[in-house]
Amino acid sequence: MPATKISNDKVGPRVAFGRHLAELRRRAGLSQEALALESGLARSYLGGVERGQRNIALLNICRLAVALSVRPSELLQTL
């Protein structure tokens, strides 16, 4: 079975997701701490997600989408 391309950067999906999340957060003018508070997630967890070290759950993707005023699909757009 041929390998599928998971991102333009040729990085894993967790890293691609984290980079995109960090970019959306910065565009919204939010710090990690502010986004963590707004979404109800721990700041250390959010930092791990942005660094591609954590495997984020769908529920948390939805929480972040609400906090960033975007659709959940927007967070997955780079994958």
Stated pTM of the model: 0.85
pLDDT, residue 8, reads 52
Rounded to 5°, the CA angle 40-52-33 comes to: 30
What average pLDDT score do residues 62-73 get?
97
pLDDT tens, residue by residue, 4-62: 444 455 889 999 999 999 999 999 999 999 999 999 999 999 999 999 999 999 999 99
Predicted confidence (pLDDT) at residue 63 exceeds the cutoff of 60: yes
Task: Catalogue all structural domains in the chain, each as residue range(s) with its CATH number.
Answer: 13-75 (1.10.260.40)
Comparing 11 with 76, the larger pLDDT belongs to 76
**Buried b / exposed e across 19-54, counting CB within 10 Å, b at 16+?**
bbbbebbeeeebebeebbeebebeeebbbbbbebeb
